[in-house]
Amino acid sequence: MVWRAYKKAGLLIIMIVALAMIPISQGELLFTKVANATSGTETDAASLEEKLTDILSNEQLYGATTAVSVMHAKTGDILFSKNGGIRLHPASNMKILTAAAALETLGVNYQFTTEVRTDGKVKGKILHGNLYLKGNGDPTLLKSDLRQMAKELKEQGIRKVKGNLIADDTWYDDVRLSQDINWSDEPFYTGAQVSALTLSPNDDYDAGTVMVEVLPKTIKNGKAVVKVIPETDYVEIVNHTQIVAADGTKDISIEREHGTNRIIVEGTIPKKAAKVRSWVSVWEPTGYVLNVFQQTLQEQGIAFVGKSEVLLGKTPAKARVLTTKKSMPLKDLLIPFMKLSNNGHGEGLTKEMGKVVHGEGSWDKGIKVIEQVMDDLDADTDTMLLRDGSGMSHKNMIPSEELLQVLYQAQKQDWFPVFQNSLPVAGEQERLVGGTLRNRMKEKPAKGNVIAKTGSLSGMSTLSGYVTTQDQEPLIFSIMINNYIGSSEDITKIEDQIATMLAAHQFQ
Please give the single-letter amino acid code of residue 350: T
SS3 393: coil
Residues paired with 116 in a beta bridge: 133, 323
Task: Write down the catalytic residue from 81, 178, 278, 341.
Answer: 341
Q: Buried b / exposed e across 381-400, counting CB within 10 Å, b at 16+? A: beebebbbbbbbbbebbbbb
Q: Label the pairing between strands 113-118 and 126-128.
A: unpaired
Cα separation, 405 vs 346, in Å, equals 20
Task: Write down the catalytic residue from 69, 92, 281, 393.
Answer: 92
Cα separation, 400 vs 386, in Å, equals 14
Task: State the alpha helices, DSSP H only, in 56-117.
Answer: 94-106
Q: Report the candidate in 189, 194, 155 with the shortest Cα–Cα distance to residue 172.
A: 194
* 92 classed as catalytic: yes
Q: Name 440's Cβ contacts closer than 8 Å, sequence gap at least 6.
A: 426, 427, 492, 496
Residues paired with 279 in a beta bridge: 211
* 341 classed as catalytic: yes
Cα separation, 440 vs 418, in Å, equals 23
The number of C-alpha atoms within 13 Å of 333 and in the hemisphere containing its C-beta is: 29
Task: Write down the catalytic residue from 69, 95, 355, 400.
Answer: 95
Cα separation, 65 vs 424, in Å, equals 25
DSSP type of residue 385: B
Instruction: Just list the catalytic residues.
Output: 92, 95, 341
